[in-house]
Chain A
Amino acid sequence: MTQPLAFRRILAVLVKEFTQLRRDRLTYAMMLLMPVVQLLLFGYAINNDPRHLPTIVYVQDQSAMARSVLAALDNSTYFRIIRVAHSQSDVEASIRQGEALFAVTIPADFTRRVVRHDHAQVLVEADAADPTAVGGAASLLAALPRTALARDLVGGAAWLPAADPFEVIVHRRFNPENITAFNVVPGLLGVILSLTLVLMTALSVTRERERGTMESLLATPVRPIEVMAGKLSPYVGVGLVQTLVILGVADLMFGVPMPDTAASWSALGVGVVLFIIGSLALGFLFSTLAQTQLQAMQMSFFYIMPSVLLSGFAFPFQGMPVWARDVGQLLPVTHFLRIVRGTVLKGETFADLTASLAALAAFLVAITSLAMLRYRTTLD
């Protein structure tokens, strides 16, 4: 015989749950604050139609027409001209390092050819590593020739042929076929690694506290940095295996290109190791702040959300408002994504990735120091 449902017993459990929830201040705060903070944060930050994309211009033709073309670009709101290049190699470096997503080159004979109807061209190089970032801007470029020179050619309109006065040649770099997977799959590497690794270490210390084993551990002469190193090491192995698996699947099943030089591979390798250790250290820091495993888990999720949304993984980094990019700069995933995409898609090496690698190293040092400051060798 099963007993009938007793309302009183349900109530008993319910009251107990509520009471326990109320005691757990952090969980309580997280439950109320998290949705609000995240909604505001991401509601404003996310932008599927990115504009004001950084653009470098290389003008070899100092003429009124060239200036009109640039003005038209600027007015479109899709492009934000960050500076004028002084050489072709300057253009190349700027695109490669991600300073600019677009490089517009106006050749020396531009005006002459427009006037002569002699196949005048404007060259646009686009960093197509992230197809969504350049999609909208690329389609605007198609309409540019019909409008850009409208004022310059007034009066002379009579002799204008039906054809456009010039042609825009768009050259998609790094991902010429616009394959989304080329961008997403390397990004997933960063997200999956953070998700698993931060949680691993965050749980492993709070578990000791929850189960009471911390008391025995602290009674031994083991030092904080030794605990940290010992806790992190096995997961470095876990992270490396995860990386190999993800890269293998990316290559074999999605056809994502792999670095083609040893220099690229080693830059990627250093980035991966720094990122793995940095993520683990962050988990360790969380565990020194959280009292329970549940709290550690909540902190980890609180960190994962911006890592997905503000790092340039889910939405184009250049399309976010400045403050959101500033937040993004603080996240290791942002720098890691640049390293992975840079080495995988652009064949970049240490020279191109110095800033990102340095950022990861700085993150690691900062988080480790914080964790050591926070870690208590007593039960107080």
Chain B
Amino acid sequence: MSLAIDVRHLNKTFGAKAVVQDVAISVEAGRICGFLGPNGSGKTTTLRMLCGLLRPDSGEGTCLGFDILRETDQIKRRTGYMTQRFSLYEDLSIEENLLFIARVYGLEHGRRRVSGAIEQLGLGPRRRQLAGELSGGWKQRLALAGCTLHGPKLLLLDEPTAGVDPKARRDFWDQIHALAAEGLTVLVSTHYMDEAERCHDIAYIFQGRLIARGSAEALVRDSRLITFRAEGEGAYRMAADLSRAPGVLMASPFGQALHVSGTDRSALETAIAPFRRTGVVWSEIAPTLEDVFIRLMGREGEAG
């Protein structure tokens, strides 16, 4: 299997702040890798280093077989980068934006490709509308169309679906899977758990360090997390008391229900015992990815 992204020991500091520390990422060609981590953990910075927008202080490796330090031009030509903040021209129309991109990449049949992209977006009738007048969700779709227009081999998407409605989000992911099926490699940052679960692989970064790596199932399994769910009258109100109990790592309400997690089964059972009362039904469930991440964050936070 060839690696579309294969970088090691990436470091980046801003001023005195080490924003990315010794990060290594490898993604096989044709795979979708989810890039997760809390705000300010260094996702955007890492993506920018991969596509040559930021120069790593140190590190090595390749994207699409090109050196990330010396061959950024080659990488840029073959990579589509979707920025976290909308960064196409708001004072150009949808069509003009895409035509500009087509020309900058020197695409053959630029006009035809742009028309195709616009039709695919379903924006045909609004092709002359200014990008700045689009709603947030439509801007995202336009941005995705923009960064895939030149037929890249690698897509770096920075929170592409933030603020997008569920239907559009699903379409978006269907499209990304379709692209991956054609051989495109995708590294996508997100804060949505359902999106993380749709990725082949997940990389989790925390305070500039990569702390977990693997498929969603593997991450859940490796966490050795045990989760109980309480349902019934007032179950969610027990969160505050339970979270202080020994052996409980997390107790968080989910609507009317409550999830309680820990790694030590007997300690957890002991903690729950006083709360087993009539009207409340306890059951063991599989931990969610979110539980795993919150756990990871807590553990690293204590360690650090």
Contact = CB atoms under 8 A, between A and B. Distances in A.
Query: Do they bind each other?
Result: yes
Interface of A: 211-216, 218-222, 377-380
Interface stretch (B76-84, B242-250, B264-272): B76-84
Contact-residue size bin, chain B (C-beta under 8 Å from the other chain) = 20 to 34
Interface string B5-18: 00000000000000
B88 interface: yes
Contact of B87 (A216, A377, A378, A380): A216
B53 interface: yes
A222 B104 contact: yes
B83 A378 contact: no
A64 B150 CA distance: 86
A379 B48 contact: yes
A211 B81 CA distance: 17
A219 B81 contact: yes
Contacts of A215: 53, 83, 85, 87
A219 B76 contact: yes
Interface in B18-72: 48, 51-55, 72
Contacts of A213: 87-89
Interface in B238-283: none
Nearest to B87: A216
Given A212-B85, A221-B104, 12 more contacts: A212-B86, A213-B88, A219-B76, A219-B79, A220-B101, A220-B105, A221-B73, A378-B52, A378-B53, A378-B55, A379-B53, A379-B54
B90 interface: yes
Nearest to B85: A212
Interface of B is mostly: loop
Contacts of A220: 76, 101, 104-105
Contacts of A211: 87, 90
Nearest to B86: A212
Nearest to B78: A221
Given A212-B87, A215-B83, A380 B55 contact: yes
B12 to A, nearest CB: 9
Interface in B85-116: 85-90, 101, 104-105
Nearest to B48: A379
A246 B85 CA distance: 43
A280 B55 CA distance: 29
A212 B83 contact: yes
A218 B73 contact: no
Nearest to B92: A213
A220 B48 CA distance: 12
Contacts of B52: 219, 377-378
A5 to B, nearest CB: 35
A378 B72 CA distance: 10
Contact of B77 (A212, A214, A221): A221
Nearest to B80: A219
